Amino acid sequence: MSNNNLFRSLRWRVLLFIFIGLIYFTQQGCKSASKNEVSSSTEKTDTLQNSTPPSGTNVETPPVKMDSSGKKIRIELPSGVRINVEPNSVTMQILDYLKGSEPAGKCFILDNVIFSTNSADLEPISETQLSDLKFIMDAYSGMAIVITGYSDQTSDATKNKNISRSRAVAVQDWLIYRRISGDRMQSRSMSDPDPNKSGDQKGDQAMNTRPEVCIVNKG
């Protein structure tokens, strides 16, 4: 082989090695860049998952009830559900009663369950106390109640009786709609107002419209 042929052969081999080397290093660089992008994406995802939602973001949180001092009591029910309860509230009294040794048969006025005037329509403010009752009945699966509806003395006895009955049924239906079995509840009406109130003052009349729940089985 002549020197010229040998030189051309070496030159092509060198160029081939250079070309293969360029391909190799290009592939390695792409792999490294891809790994960096995945790592960066993972870090961003972790940051988003661990970050606190910005102010104004609509995030559902359980309702929190507070007393005048700003104190709240978080209670875990036997079902594992946690509710926030005001000290000395009716909800707290019901829970203490269910956990105590006092026999079944005690009654409680649902003081924050409010109806429209001369109507069985529940006001929106009633949702909180009724929700507490619903969660309690979920937690105490054997609990059974009698719901009594009342009215004030501003109408005749027949109309009062009808309103009272409709109010008791409204509370029962509210609970049934939220999957509390109707077999665990009875409803009844009282044409007479709450005997604990005279009905002479507006405040007394308002309290006379509140339904009463009697726990006939503590579960």
Q: What is the pLDDT of residue 117?
A: 86
Report the candidate in 219, 155, 214 with the shortest Cα–Cα distance to residue 188: 214
Angle formed by the axes of helices 126-139 and 157-177, nearest 10°? 60
Q: Can you read off the two tokens belonging to residue 105?
A: 């048969």
Averaged in consecutive runs of 10 residues, what is the pLDDT profile of the chain (219 residues)? 59 70 65 48 40 38 49 90 93 96 96 92 96 97 96 74 93 97 93 48 56 95
Question: What's the predicted TM-score (pTM) here?
Answer: 0.64
Q: Rounded distance, CA 75 to CA 67, Å? A: 15
The per-residue pLDDT for 6 is: 57
pLDDT score recorded for residue 217? 97
pLDDT of the residue at 40: 45
Kindly state the DSSP code that residue 160 receives in the 8-state scheme.
Answer: H
Q: What pLDDT is stored for residue 148 in this prediction?
A: 95
**CA 201/CA 199 separation, integer angstroms:** 6
